[in-house]
Amino acid sequence: MRSYFDEQGQPEGIFCIACNITLQVKTKSRIDDANSEISVNNDKLSEISFMQSHVIRKPLANIMGLANLLVEMDLNTHQKSIIDKMTASADELDTVIENISDTAD
């Protein structure tokens, strides 16, 4: 160990001559970079989660509501078949979005 002094001769600090901290400094730098990347990715996931739960689900809910209204109407067999397929597809999409949102939580 060795001490060093300021311009007035007062002790300013001590350094260790035989200690190479290069690896520790590089490792800390890598950890800081990784933490920064994780933070950016978490922000992206939060944005995707918000979009799934609000931006995508709103029009899907509207489609589901309109399909339910059409089911109540007096339609021919062909029209009812189309509405049934549309309702099944909307329900399937809703389930997929819900599963993705649950996975993100």
Give the model's pLDDT for residue 17: 67
Q: What pLDDT score does 100 carry?
A: 77
Structural domains of the chain in order of their starting residue, each with its CATH number: 2-104 (1.10.287)
pLDDT, mean of residues 48-54: 79
Residue with tokens 């029209």: 79
pLDDT band at 32 (very low <50, low <70, confident <90, very high): very high
Gyration radius of the chain's alpha carbons: 31
- Dihedral sign for Cα atoms in the order 94, 96, 99, 105: negative
> Looking at residues 59-64, what average pLDDT do you find?
91
pLDDT for the residue numbered 84: 92
The span from the CA of 66 to the CA of 83, in Å, is 10
Residue 19 has pLDDT above 70, yes or no: no
Amino acid 104: pLDDT? 62
